Amino acid sequence: MEKFAGRLTTIVLLGFFSLLFSLPVITIGASFTALQKAMHAYVVKGNDKPLPVFFSAFKEYFPLSTKVFLLHLIVIAVLVWDYVYYTTGDSAIDFLGQFTAFMLLSVILLEMTMVFTVIALDMADSVKSAFAKAVDIGMICPLETLMLLGLFVAISIAVIFLLKGLILVLPGVIAYCDWQIIPNMLQKYKFKRGNLNYQKEKRNKARK
C-alpha cells in the first residue's frame, strides 16, 4: 500500500508540474518533453526522484521542443475550435463533428507525444529528424501505436467527461500508462528497423 501511495504521489506531482510549466503556453513542448524524460527515468530506470530529471530536461530540451510544439499549435487550435463549435449543436451532424474533431486531436496529440519522446530519449537533434523518427516508429510498430492511442482516448474521456476533478493528474496518468508500452515498442522498433536496414544492405550488395 505504501509503495502504491508513493507511486501515485510521483505520478500526480509529475503531471501537476507538467501543467504548471505549461501555463505560458509556449513552454508546453518543453514541459511535456520533460515529463516524458522524467517518466522514462522513473518507470524504466527506476529513479525514485524523477522531479530533478524533469527540471533539468525542461531546460535542456526547451529550444527543440518549442519549435516542434509551435508547428503543431495551429493544427491543434483549429481542431479545438472545431470541437467547441460542434458542441453548440445537438444534431447528429454536430455529434459526428465533435467525434471527428476529438479523434483527430487525439491522433495529433499522440503524434506530438511520440515526437517529444524521441527528443527526450536523444533519438533526434533537429525538428526534421524528430518528426521522421516518430513517424517511422509509428509505421514500424502500428499495433503499439494504436494501443497508445486507445489509452489516450480512454483516459481522456474518463477524466474529462466523468472525473473532471482529476484533470490535474491527466498528463501524469497518461504518461505513466504510455511508459508501460513504449519500452517494448522501442525495443521492437530497433529490432525491426535493424533487420530492415540489414536486408536493404544485402539487396544493395547483391545489385553490385
Predicted confidence (pLDDT) per residue in 49-100, tens digit: 899 999 999 999 999 999 999 988 888 888 888 888 888 877 888 888 888 8
Q: Over pLDDT 90: what percentage of the chain?
A: 35
Ordered by start, the domain boundaries in the chain are: 2-191
Which residue, chain included where needed, has cell 479545438?
A: 80
Listed residue (81, 139, 71) closest to 108, CA to CA: 71
**Model pTM score:** 0.84
Distances (CA, A) of 193 to 36, 135, 139, 143: 23, 13, 10, 16
Query: pLDDT class for 38, splitting at 50, 70, 90?
Result: very high
Predicted confidence (pLDDT) per residue in 153-164, tens digit: 887 777 666 666
What interhelical angle do 170-178 and 2-20 show, nearest 10?
120
Exposed (0-12), middle (13-18) or buried (19+): which is 194, by Cβ within 10 Å? exposed
Q: What is the mean pLDDT of the segment spanning 19-33?
A: 91
pLDDT at residue 200 in the model: 61
Predicted confidence (pLDDT) per residue in 142-188, tens digit: 999 989 888 888 877 776 666 665 667 778 888 899 999 999 999 99
Q: What is the DSSP string of 86-138?
A: HHT--SHHHHHHHHHHHHHHHHHHHHHHHHHHHHHTT--SSHHHHHHHHHHHH
Q: What is the mean pLDDT of the segment spanning 131-135?
A: 91
pLDDT at residue 201 in the model: 59
State the Cα–Cα distance between residues 37 and 18, nearest whole angstrom.
11
